[in-house]
Amino acid sequence: MRVWITGANGFIGRHLVRELAGAGHAVHGIGHGALDQTEACRLGLRSWINGEIDAANLNALASAHGLPSKVFHLAGGSSVGLSIERPFEDFSRTVASSARLLEWLRTSAAECELIAASSAAVYGADHPGPIPESAAPAPMSPYGQHKLMMEQLCRSYACSLGLRCAVVRLFSVYGPNLRKQLLWDICSRLRAEPGSLDLGGTGAEVRDWTDVRDVARLLASVAELSSPASFRIINGGSGRGASVADIANGLIRHWGGNTVVCYSGVGRPGDPVSLVADDVSLRRMKFDWRIPLDQGLGDYVAWFKGHARG
Amino acid sequence: MRVWITGANGFIGRHLVRELAGAGHAVHGIGHGALDQTEACRLGLRSWINGEIDAANLNALASAHGLPSKVFHLAGGSSVGLSIERPFEDFSRTVASSARLLEWLRTSAAECELIAASSAAVYGADHPGPIPESAAPAPMSPYGQHKLMMEQLCRSYACSLGLRCAVVRLFSVYGPNLRKQLLWDICSRLRAEPGSLDLGGTGAEVRDWTDVRDVARLLASVAELSSPASFRIINGGSGRGASVADIANGLIRHWGGNTVVCYSGVGRPGDPVSLVADDVSLRRMKFDWRIPLDQGLGDYVAWFKGHARG
């Protein structure tokens, strides 16, 4: 199968390229990042366009390699904090690029299915338990709002304009090569000062942590599963929550040593107290999460110690 | 007060310019349409920029005339049918332009309040009675979806980024100078063939019809009413529904003659059966609708016979 991945050079994108290329698919990528031919090839990409997701670049890709059967849309903003600091940039990366992609698919590749990566940030706060896909969205940040708008574009192009789209709302994805967010911050501080660890928030914030290698397999599975529905929304979470304190303690255990953890007690704006998936859809798909949290944390620490430079 | 109107050259825009200029405000416009200085002046505009709503044009307006106290945002797509035919154009006109405007306000005129015209199309179908603002949005067309996305951008810039925005969801606005949609179609056919009138749908479709002169006064009232809330959504409807058959019969009565009306019985895609406002917010504002439907229909027929050329 010929597949395209937008944002193929990102954290999840690179793992998805590996997954799909490993399964024998011809994988082409588009997005930002200077990859030379050797590096793209090493990642598993047949070709790579470093540029905007726009009609010119999509036409160029199609002319050179043929139309795709599936497009995985991973390009977009990736930081709640940056979306508050530079909201228009986040809008452009998440919403405007999706509009151009959907329009190009409608006019040039209407048979191709789109699998779009969205985020649990669309749900917002006030969900003490597992969140079903049917929950009313109430994003707390421009990041979440823009992801919701991206979903709505997908819905509109599917329901009114004949495309087929599956939206996967990813929860807290972590794993090897992630050089930001909680696990990265903790490991960086453990390396700098192993004796004590000061963290924001209360430590009780609960997230649905999923290893990026499982997530790549999940996205591939969603694409493989044929569905009669022209539009689907699927929670891409495990249904199990773990607190920031659980993560910190797990990383410290794998790191080795006796680090003392302190929490500021002050939350970050746009940061809900709990985000855990209701995983009914994935259980119905019979998707199996293979990497338990403790193994994932161990792998992350091993990767960090072996590869990461602060 | 110095006010700007985007889409000031549109149907509602021109009426709003007249309303605000008549009340003594300095009104500047931006949007598409070739208006020379004389024509702009005749409309009531101090200045007019014929172009995209983007940072360059907004900066030019601010440099020449100073920052606005209020911006009325009326620019955007204006047709359900065109939004299905050319969805990306509708997205660009409604969503992308709003994103650029909001970002410019955030960075250059953060004290200015935005009053944005949205549409009852965000509600979608399945509302047999008056619709409160709190109803879950479920747009049935790209047009409605894009209006909803515009609202969400306003919400995000208000709730996360410090702007003040009021969104007014307009229902079925008609009146002098509207050269499309139901009233225009009916009058055009009555002129061409007064004996019989064939209409799509069943005639039982119910809408909340509001005269554009009342709507212009409503938008001005919303801007005048100071509110502690940084983000407001207000139904801009009268709370009273009238069917397509009511409209057809009223126009025929004002037109004169004995026209026989037939309905195809086939609805248009993206067209809900009923869209009537719950008008609690406007009653709380003590806003008074002054032009009853029958008077409005009479005025429309008089304008059509006097001014409109098919």
Q: Do β-strands A260-263 and A242-243 pair in parallel, antiparallel, or remain unpaired?
A: unpaired
Q: What is the pLDDT of residue A226?
A: 78
Please give the mean pLDDT across all residues of chain A: 95
* SS3 state of residue A64: helix
> How far, in Å, are A5, B172, B185 from residue B303 at the CA level?
55, 18, 14
What pLDDT digit, counting tens, does each position of B39-72 carry? Answer: 999 999 999 999 999 999 999 999 999 999 999 9
Mean pLDDT of A107-119: 97
Lookup result for tokens 């930001």: A180
* SS3 state of residue A226: coil
Q: What is the pLDDT of residue A210?
A: 98
In angstroms, how far is CA A164 from the centroid of its own chain?
20
* SS3 state of residue B249: helix
Mean pLDDT of A142-150: 97
A21–chain B nearest CA distance, Å: 32
Q: What is the pLDDT of residue A257?
A: 84
What pLDDT digit, counting tens, does each position of B12-37 carry? Answer: 999 999 999 999 999 999 999 998 88
The reply to whether residue B141 touches residue A153, judged by beta carbons under 8 angstroms, is no
Q: Which residues contact B28 (CB under 8 A, 6 or more apart)?
A: B2, B3, B4, B5, B45, B46, B47, B48, B61, B65, B68
Choose the weakest-confidence range: A77-81, A226-230, B2-6, B134-138.
A226-230
Residue A310 confidence (pLDDT) above 60: no
Residues from chain B contacting residue A87 (CB–CB below 8 Å)? 103, 106, 156-157, 160-161
Q: What is the pLDDT of residue B292?
A: 97
Q: Which of A98, A145, A160, A271 to mutate to test the interface with B (most CBs of B within 10 A)?
A: A160
Q: Per the structure block, which two tokens stand in for B34? A: 């070739």
- Residue B88 contacts A where some CB pair is shorter than 8 Å: yes
User: Cα torsion at A55, A56, A58, A59 (round to 10°)?
Assistant: 110
* SS3 state of residue B216: helix
For residues B234 and B278, the answer to whether their CB atoms sit within 8 Å is no
Question: A188-192, A268-272, B125-129 — which one is most confidently predicted on average?
Answer: A188-192
Q: What is the pLDDT of residue A270?
A: 63
Confidence tier at A112 by pLDDT (50, 70, 90): very high
Q: Do β-strands A274-275 and A206-207 pair in parallel, antiparallel, or remain unpaired?
A: parallel
Nearest by CB to A149, which of B87, B140, B152? Answer: B152
Distance CA A56, CA B2 (A): 42
Q: Which residues contact B269 (CB under 8 A, 6 or more apart)?
A: A160, B84, B140, B141
The reply to whether residue B95 touches residue A156, judged by beta carbons under 8 angstroms, is no
Nearest by CB to B91, which of A91, A99, A160? Answer: A99
Distance CA A120, CA A168 (A): 9
- Residue A154 contacts B where some CB pair is shorter than 8 Å: no
Q: What is the pLDDT of residue A308?
A: 67
> How far, in Å, are A8, A34, A54, B51, B69 from residue A48 at the CA level?
9, 9, 14, 36, 48
Residues from chain B contacting residue A157 (CB–CB below 8 Å)? 87, 142
Lookup result for tokens 């609805």: B267
B67–chain A nearest CA distance, Å: 21
Q: What is the pLDDT of residue B270?
A: 62
Distance CA B62, CA B58 (A): 6
Mean pLDDT of A188-206: 94
- Residue A142 contacts B where some CB pair is shorter than 8 Å: yes
What pLDDT digit, counting tens, does each position of A249-267 carry? Answer: 999 999 998 899 999 998 8
State whether the Cα torsion A115-A119-A122-A125 is positive or negative: positive
Distance CA A134, CA A255 (A): 40
pTM over 0.95: no
